[in-house]
Structure 1
Amino acid sequence: MRLDKFLKVSRLIKRRTLAKEVADQGRISVNGNQAKASTVLATGDELVIRFGQKLVTVKVNNLRETVRKDEAETMYTIVKEEQVQ
Structure 2
Amino acid sequence: MRIDKYLKVSRIIKRRTIAQEACDKGRVSINDKIVKAGAQVKVGDKIEINFSGTPMKYEVLDVKEHVKKEDTEALYRILE
TM-score, with structure 1 as normaliser: 0.92
| Displacement of 1:51 | 1.4
Count of residue pairs the alignment pairs up: 80
Residue 39 (structure 1) aligned with residue 39 (structure 2): yes
In structure 2, list runs of 5 or more residues that go unmatched: none
Structure whose CA Rg is larger? 1
Measured in 2, the distance between the counterparts of 1:79 and 1:37 equals: 22
- Residues 27-82 of structure 1, C-alpha deviation per residue, up to 9 Å, x if partnerless? 011001111100001100001101112110100000000000010111000012xx
In structure 1, list runs of 5 or more residues that go unmatched: 81-85
- Letter of the 1:5 partner, please give it: K
Number of the residue aligned with 1:13: 13
Residue 68 (structure 1) aligned with residue 64 (structure 2): no
TM-score, with structure 2 as normaliser: 0.97
Percent identity of equivalent pairs: 43
